[in-house]
Structure 1
Amino acid sequence: MSRGPDAATLLERALIAAADTAGCPIAVVASDWTRWASVTFSGARHSLTLTAEASPALDRWLVGLSDAEFDLRHTLVADLAVTRMTRDGDAVTVAIEALTVEER
């Protein structure tokens, strides 16, 4: 029996959907994650690289991204930050780091 998509897949899908809703479609070009645990929580640390076309909508979306709420099944996004952004003409590459925590 499959449990469904993992937290990394759910996070990627949520970011893509949120960007589409904001009017700035993105593509996830790289994604990696590592299991993470503390005494009271378990989850994963995520590193993602996104690309998009430069636009005011993208800029607005990125500014609000760290405060955005994502509805991920059995998972909370505890922290999310844009760690790097580069522009090359109309192309923008964005690095994102996130921490997800499993709901129990």
Structure 2
Amino acid sequence: MRGPGSGALLGRAIARSAEAAGAMVAVEDCDTHPWYSATLSGARYAFALTADIDAPVAHWLYSLPQQDLPLPGHLVADLAVAPAIEYSGRLHWRIDALTIAAA
């Protein structure tokens, strides 16, 4: 039996990071594409998230790119947070990440 993929695991790590900061977010969607260089392989992820508008979310979003997100068998090499958009009383934003598979 196969477990969840790296996209699901990274989404869970992002949600746990938010929860630890007192921010409740919902990972709505994840787009995953393989990534390769001459010597490495990994994947690119685009997560769509939503949350209520509050101070813990803003602080967490600001600190997220510097956090070490655990992802078994992979290294989160890059993570970027797009500017959030307010719609219907909620924040909506995108997180882009690049992971590299452990050798």
Q: Please report the TM-score for the alignment, with normalisation by the length of structure 1.
A: 0.93
The farther-off stretch of 80-89 and 11-20 is: 80-89
CA contact (8 A) 1:7 1:100 kept: no
4+ residue runs over 2 A deviation: none
Instruction: Specify the SS of the correspondent of 1:79.
Output: strand
Q: Distance in 2 between matches of 1:70 and 1:86?
A: 24
Structure 1 residue 48, shift from structure 2 partner? 0.7
Structure 1 residue 89, shift from structure 2 partner? 5.2
Q: In structure 1, what residue type is equivalent to 2:87? A: D
**2:82 matched to 1:101?**
no
Count of matched residue pairs? 103
Partner of 2:51: 52
Unaligned runs of 5+ in 2: none
Unaligned runs of 5+ in 1: none
Q: What is the aligned-residue identity percentage?
A: 37
Q: Distance in 1 between matches of 2:59 and 2:67?
A: 12
